[in-house]
Amino acid sequence: MLAPLFAAPAIIQLHVAAAVGAFGSGALQLALPKGTLRHRACGYVWIGLMVILSVSSFWIHTIRLIGPFSPIHLLSILTLAGLPRAIWLARKGDVTGHRRLMIILFVFALVGAGLFTLVPGRLMHVVVFG
């Protein structure tokens, strides 16, 4: 079932690898105790993967609604703007704001966008459901 993914362009493979890694590390992050060195390290891994995920999306043009882009690219821009803000919130001690923004990014930019990839006719639908 992974054959369609391995046959896809390298940028899509990178994008999917970052998404899977971000989902796993993000879920782990939500389960781990907060405020620890492990939490911070896992958080930076998640942020790095989300940056790779978001940036790589700008080279994926399977849905073209606005020139070569689709509304999902707006989500990538919002994610790239939200990640440094989340770090800034944590550093200034606004734990509630940091938590809220990170959960929003996880739910909408990762889980929500990921569910969209499972729509019939999309590559990940073929990979997951055959």
Number of folded domains in the chain? 1
d(CA 20, CA 110) in angstroms, rounded, equals: 9
pLDDT tens digits along 59-71? 987 766 676 767 7
pTM of model > 0.85: yes
- Please give the average per-residue pLDDT across 98-107, as a whole number: 96
Contacting residues for 13 by C-beta, under 8 A, at least 6 apart: 5, 6
pLDDT tens digits along 18-32? 999 999 999 999 998
For 56, the domain range is: 3-129
What does the DSSP assignment read for 70-105? -HHHHHHHHHHHHHHHHHHHHHTT-HHHHHHHHHHI
